[in-house]
Amino acid sequence: MGAGKSSIGKKLSKRLGLPFVDSDRVIVRRHGVIAEIFATHGEQHFRGLERDVVAESLAAGGVLSLGGGAVLHPDTRDRLTGHRVVLLTVSADAVASRITGGGRPLLGDGGLDAWRRIALERDPIYRSVASVTFDTSHRPISTVVDDIVSWVEKGAS
């Protein structure tokens, strides 16, 4: 959360000439506000919707921005095998201003402390599916995109 997945994904897709999909936006378009899905149906239901959107998007190809918890579902982790997966990291200091007022249901009242807890819990899963990692803490989006494009052009797998 707050690493810049959507912003970087959009710019990356333009640079590579590929379609862009933000899994969270697809879910919102099809099913409504994510916070309401969590409140009404729970996280497990949301993860199922997310799993389906990710599977569909991976099959279509392009640049896909996954929600921060997408890899919690084992089917999603399995489907990512064989794809180039970029992990975007961000420090707690840098993310503090990025996560305020974003309607992120898992942060609730916990704010930055909740972000730290979630990031720590998910980190091993993120790293297990990642092909490469780029930190976005104090770098312009354009620089991160340049680095990813260079990595892709070098035939990264």
Could you name the CATH architecture of 5-153?
3-Layer(aba) Sandwich (3.40)
β-bridge mates for residue 63, sequence order: 20
CA distance 113 to 29: 30
Q: Which two tokens stand for residue 80?
A: 């990512």
Least confident among 66-75, 107-116, 118-127: 107-116
β pairing state of 20-22 and 86-89: unpaired
Q: What is the pLDDT of residue 40?
A: 95
What distance in Å separates the CA atoms of residue 41 and residue 18, rounded to the nearest whole number? 34
pLDDT at 70: 92
Find the mean pLDDT for residues 28-36. 94
Instruction: Give the per-residue pLDDT at 96.
Output: 67
> Would you say residue 97 has pLDDT above 70?
no
C-alpha–C-alpha distance, residues 147 and 83, integer Å: 18
In the prediction, which pLDDT does 118 show? 83
Is the pLDDT confidence value at 107 over 60?
no
- Span 109-122, mean pLDDT? 78
User: According to the model, what pLDDT value does residue 13 have?
Assistant: 97
How high is the pLDDT of residue 114? 77
Domain ranges of the chain: 5-153
